[in-house]
Amino acid sequence: MAENMKKGGISVDSEHLFPIIKKWLYSDKDIFLREIVSNGCDAVTKLKRLDSLGQISLPEQDYRIDVVLDKTAGTLTVSDNGIGMTAEELEKYICNIALSGAVEFIQKYENDESGKPQEGIIGHFGLGFYSAFMVSDTVTVESKSYTGAPAVKWVCNSDGEYETFPSDREERGTSVIMKITEDEKELLDGYKIKEILDKYCSFMPVPVFFYDAENDDREGDEKKEPEQVNDTKPLWMKQPSECTEDDYKAFYKKVFKDYRDPLFWVHINAEYPLNFKGIIYFPKLNSEYEPLEGQVKLYYNQVFVADNIKEVIPDYLLMLRGVLDCPELPLNVSRSYLQNNGYVAKIAAHIVKKVADKLNGMFNTDREKYEKLYNDIKIFVEYGCIRDKKFFDRVKGSVLFSSALDDKSYTLDEYLEECREKHENKVFYATDKKTQAQYISMYQAQGVKILLLDRPLDTQFVQTIEADRSGVSFIRVDSDVDDVLKNGEAAENEKLKELFKKASGKDDLEVSFAALKDEKTPAILNEDEHERRFADMMRMYRMDGADDIPSKAKLVVNTSSSLYKKLEELAGTDEAKAEKLCGYVFSLATLAHRQLTADELKAFLESQYELLSLI
């Protein structure tokens, strides 16, 4: 059987391949311009590299790429003054699909001592050039090599049939002239080309100029000079010490089209083995309910790859905005590649570490400034802590809590230490300063500090802290009557229990008695902390039946109140009047605990009108 074995290579018929290229090479046809301009960048980078290595000697000159639109001729031309090609090189690299000159060049000139490719060469696959056929009937290449070899001209139609001629081109470099197909006529609009260049080429490392030849035909208009469309050294390519605060803000507004200043930013310059750069911004929210779609732009050696790549940043930081330049990733990176790539996971972990370091750094070096902006970043920090234990462990010492009584902020350790003598390992908090004002004032009168946790995410964050800090409990001011509020124990009064149940219309109402230090308040309603948290979570996620969860509020009657003594007397002498008074007390306690329902408000007002009529 071995005698019948045969080995060979698969041949590709260009007649069948080119229709596939035209339709399927890239899902977004606009990418063709990025690919052709990137090839021009490579050509310039190769020439500069040879010059720096002493392989050639060139006079001082301005390297550039020119994109010229000629609507009348129906062409779009991309020209560079880079390394150029000889006839043999053109035949080798252009006429052989997927044979990349960039790979060969890197192997020869770009490897360092360890064999690791250096930064700078964009194209690695040899397919980018053929994207021109996605939008063109014919593609013409004219090139003259830096070696001084005769210039060459190559013309190819959309079926893959080409011819090669001598060229009279005198300047070193390469021009790609694309005759735009009828189906892609929108590409002959200057605004459209400028839009594509702004998206994909704004930060390419070689100056890119755009010129619309139609300007020459406009009567009365002066001829316009080519316009440079890119910044060759974007902010993320610089050292943080080279950048000012105004630089960071201006860059943010330019890239993300946001008129507001960012809160702060993290400049990342990770070296080997990660080898990526970037800037992550914390945007300002007008409110926590403001819909904010984060945006992380991915670049490859300053060439735009994709918008909002979620795989290179943890999901809990997706509300952030930023740019990441990752030359270790391929230019034609796919979602599936990112999702299953270990390098990407390391990038995400490094970003988390840098964000945590930034928060801790601000907390430690400028606490006052940190406190002022903390309310704006609170949602980011808390969500990150809930989602990632490692992130929580890094930043938990810099998490702040606001006081409900004044403008002071505390870390958890600061609060526990300050309150240790009054209530060890207990954290009292309020979620609404208005509706819980009665409870807050009772604790305040006893010198107890109350924190304000007034955002929906706070309840889940509290549970994260309790799981981390064994023995520490967060207690909402209306969830229980803590010992700090009591004068002592109080005897039960079964008669009044029944009267309160009857007056409230709730047979299952739980009634207890406590001797409070506050003698003015006759009764309060409490709701179990854990039952309320569960109900809140159900409502947050809109689970079935969440709105039907009954309130399990418990009535606590204050035996220290002068009104209690009045109720005791009436219960023995005038039960009907005692019941009516119990109804008043219950309604007032409910009003201090939550907003009344329509029926409750109606009944409460009727009782008040009746009371007024007795005056």
User: Which among 126-135, 240-249, 374-383 has the top mean pLDDT?
Assistant: 240-249
Query: How confident is the model over 352-361, as a mean pLDDT?
Result: 95
* Residue 273: cis peptide before it, omega within 30 degrees of 0: yes
According to the model, what pLDDT value does residue 124 have? 39
Percent of the chain exceeding pLDDT 70 equals 84
Which option is the CATH number for 235-372: 3.40.50.300, 3.40.309.10, 3.30.230.80, 3.40.1360.10?
3.30.230.80
pLDDT confidence band for 1 (50 / 70 / 90): very low
Q: Where in the chain is CATH 3.30.230.80?
A: 235-372
pLDDT for residue 262 is more than 60: yes
Query: How confident is the model over 312-331, as a mean pLDDT?
Result: 84
Give the predicted TM-score (pTM) of the model: 0.80
pLDDT for residue 96 is more than 80: no
Write the pLDDT tens digit of every residue in 414-449.
Answer: 999 999 888 889 999 999 999 899 999 999 999 999
Higher pLDDT, 521 or 102: 521
Higher pLDDT, 403 or 12: 403
Query: How confident is the model over 112-137, as a mean pLDDT?
Result: 63
d(C-alpha 615, C-alpha 609), whole Å: 10
User: Which among 14-18, 159-163, 412-416, 601-605 has the top mean pLDDT?
Assistant: 412-416
Higher pLDDT, 116 or 432: 432
According to the model, what pLDDT value does residue 125 have? 36
User: Which among 139-148, 212-221, 547-556 has the top mean pLDDT?
Assistant: 139-148
According to the model, what pLDDT value does residue 91 have? 86
d(C-alpha 225, C-alpha 215), whole Å: 10
According to the model, what pLDDT value does residue 10 have? 44
Radius of gyration of the chain measured on its C-alpha atoms: 36
According to the model, what pLDDT value does residue 121 have? 43
pLDDT for residue 151 is more than 60: yes
pLDDT confidence band for 361 (50 / 70 / 90): very high
Write the pLDDT tens digit of every residue in 223-232.
Answer: 678 899 999 9
Query: How confident is the model over 162-174, as a mean pLDDT?
Result: 93
According to the model, what pLDDT value does residue 15 have? 57
Higher pLDDT, 43 or 3: 43
Query: How confident is the model over 71-80, as a mean pLDDT?
Result: 96
272's CB contacts (< 8 A; 6+ apart) are 116
Q: From residue 275, give the alpha-carbon distance in Å to each of 195, 271, 510.
A: 30, 4, 64
Query: How confident is the model over 277-286, as a mean pLDDT?
Result: 87
pLDDT confidence band for 273 (50 / 70 / 90): confident
Length of the chain: 615
pLDDT confidence band for 191 (50 / 70 / 90): very high
Q: From residue 144, give the alpha-carbon distance in Å to each of 77, 102, 298, 526.
A: 16, 18, 34, 85
d(C-alpha 178, C-alpha 188), whole Å: 11
According to the model, what pLDDT value does residue 241 have? 94
Which H or E element spans position 192? helix 190-200
According to the model, what pLDDT value does residue 327 have? 87
pLDDT for residue 142 is more than 90: yes
According to the model, what pLDDT value does residue 607 have? 78
Higher pLDDT, 562 or 96: 562
pLDDT confidence band for 269 (50 / 70 / 90): very high
Q: From residue 354, give the alpha-carbon distance in Å to each of 247, 296, 505, 522, 547.
A: 20, 16, 58, 54, 41
Q: Is 495 left (phi over 0), alpha (psi -120 to 50) or beta?
A: alpha
pLDDT for residue 168 is more than 50: yes
Query: How confident is the model over 83-99, as a mean pLDDT?
Result: 81
According to the model, what pLDDT value does residue 26 have? 67
Closest CA to 56 of 87, 91, 82, 94: 82
According to the model, what pLDDT value does residue 93 have? 83
CB contact at 8 A, 45 and 120:
yes
pLDDT for residue 99 is more than 70: no
Query: How confident is the model over 436-464, as a mean pLDDT?
Result: 92
Higher pLDDT, 177 or 608: 177
pLDDT confidence band for 117 (50 / 70 / 90): very low
d(C-alpha 252, C-alpha 265), whole Å: 10
pLDDT confidence band for 102 (50 / 70 / 90): very low
Closest CA to 121 of 194, 205, 190: 205
Neighbouring CB atoms inside 10 A of 220's CB total 4
Higher pLDDT, 2 or 264: 264
Task: Please state which architecture CATH assigns to domain 14-217+224-228.
Answer: 2-Layer Sandwich (3.30)
Q: 143: number of CA atoms within 13 Å, CB side?
A: 25
Q: Where in the chain is CATH 3.30.565.10?
A: 14-217+224-228
The arrangement of strands across the sheet holding 451-452 comes to: 409-410, 401-403, 451-452, 426-430, 473-476
Query: How confident is the model over 264-284, as a mean pLDDT?
Result: 91
pLDDT for residue 78 is more than 50: yes
Which H or E element spans position 444? helix 437-445
Q: Please tell me the least confidently modeled range out of 560-564, 573-577, 597-601.
A: 597-601
According to the model, what pLDDT value does residue 285 have? 72
